[in-house]
Structure 1
Amino acid sequence: MSAASPYAARLGKIPIERREVEALGSVTAYWVYGPADEEAPTVISVHGFRGDHHGLEPVIAYLPGVRVISPDLPGFGETPPIPGRDHDLGLYSGWLTAFARAVAPDAVILGHSFGSIVSSAAVAGGLRTPRLILINPIGAPALEGPKGVLTRLAVLYYGLGARLPQRIGTALLRHPFIVRIMSIAMAKTRDPALRRFVHDQHDRYFSRFSDRDVLHDAFVTSVSHDVRAFAGVIDAPTLLIAAQRDDITPIEAERRLARMFPDAELVEIAEVGHLIHYETPAEAAGAVRRFLRLPFAPGR
């Protein structure tokens, strides 16, 4: 039985349209939230590892009046892999550049978690954007985070999933028990209803990867790169929205990361970890609205 979304009523007031576009020789599925008016502020949102476009919907629910374009990354959700390519950072940053140029040139780019790496690499590589927004940015090597031991276990897990016979390996990577353990490890909220929603979201969308090879490529990319490598050459004004209890990038590392950008602002959110987009989306959206100089949405 699915858990009720605490953000459903807000999201239900926002128009949503599914579309497709060719990018990097394959078809990308994406969703457009908000007004059809081309004059509305436009944001392209890039979701995190193992997720799809649904993950950022709680934040979008607090951005009425903003046009948000939210694709599924290649190999996840409803977007198939790019044929004949390793799904490494070069592919993902090249795909984002091609996608943005096709659907919304000069849109604001927003990336969450793994999406922060992809977005930063693309902007550093030449993708034009007036502003860059990073939620839960990966600001240090994942293996050095507060729970580096768990990350090393994840390396073993994804490696095992890639080496076992295909049927067994894929079943391991999609096993509901493992997905729930990941969800429990990341959730910080003490609200039982919100925890049920978070776990339900991971149950629904965390295993919608196309195949184990793509998943393994993306995982290796996620633990082999971080935003620090690109910060110094990004000249667009940048907003970092970081969690004070993030187990992947500690807040001290996020503070150091903010100082690496030529023009960056850091907003810290207390009592939340790596799931800002699920647990504190109103606070994240408020920071986004301030950064984009937009009026606040009525009612929190």
Structure 2
Amino acid sequence: MDNAIPELESIRRQLMSLERRKKPKMLVVDDEPDNLDLLYRTFRRDFNVLKAESGVHALEVLAVEGEVAVIISDQRMPEMKGTEFLSKTVPQFPDTVRIILTGFTDIEDLVDAINSGQVYKYITKPWDPIELKGVVQRATETYELLKQRTEELRRAQAQTALLSTVVHVAQAASSLEDCLEPIAEAFGENFLADGCILQLVQGNTLDSGQGIYSADAPVSNWLAQDPLAQEAIASKQMQVSVNVPADTNLSGVEHYPASGVQAHLIIPITYRSQVLAVLSLQWKRPLQLREDEIKLIHLSAQQIALALLSTRAAV
């Protein structure tokens, strides 16, 4: 099997370029418009700042926008206190770091919130902008560390699940084609892909045998007309487009806008320089995988080669 990943550096540069364009999200919550605007102006250069004038509105914003790195909330607000609002965000967004702004003494509520892990720190009003920026910087670093640890655990679980599936399929499949769909499903689910295709290759040509996984709508197989698939087979190297709409090499390929695919990763399944199959992972959003996750996909693909060879020998 091929152990080197010579194309990984190019993929890493694409991912880094995409990440540099993204700012972390922050949600600021205060019922006083002046304070809300001041918080927005303070952090808009470094964050994608979302605003809400109440805890109820803030929960609606999170329901639409999803997880944010940091929440800064006033404590005394109509309808619900800041600590009550923040407690409601913990189950769905455990890694988000929460900061309370308070202009009065309410030690019991604040201590309970801090001790239960719902609040990272409290800042008294009127706040010092330099102090608040320092607290937010440390909060963002804490969030990134928590996300890193969560991702490491998820990747370890994903790798275990993938290897378990591949081994089980190799032992249980009665034909080579029977291997394809369960492996495609395992890869698609573990890497949160909208679609996944595992298709056999015969003599550098895509074979009719295929396994397809779809997260929602049915996935069409257009790999025979796809330049990334053709290049993956010819070069025996992983091919990727992290943001298809911005990729000039794919601008004239009709099936991408038709399918809604915005990111495509395709891996040749090789053994001793022979391409046995191709694995196509498709997302309807720009690629969000980390570099080490892509490396995991590449290494796990080597296990597919063993499964295919094992099944071929057994039938």
- TM tier, shorter chain? 0.3 to 0.5
When you count helix as a share of all residues, which structure comes out higher?
2
Larger radius of gyration: 2
Q: TM-score, normalised by structure 2?
A: 0.31
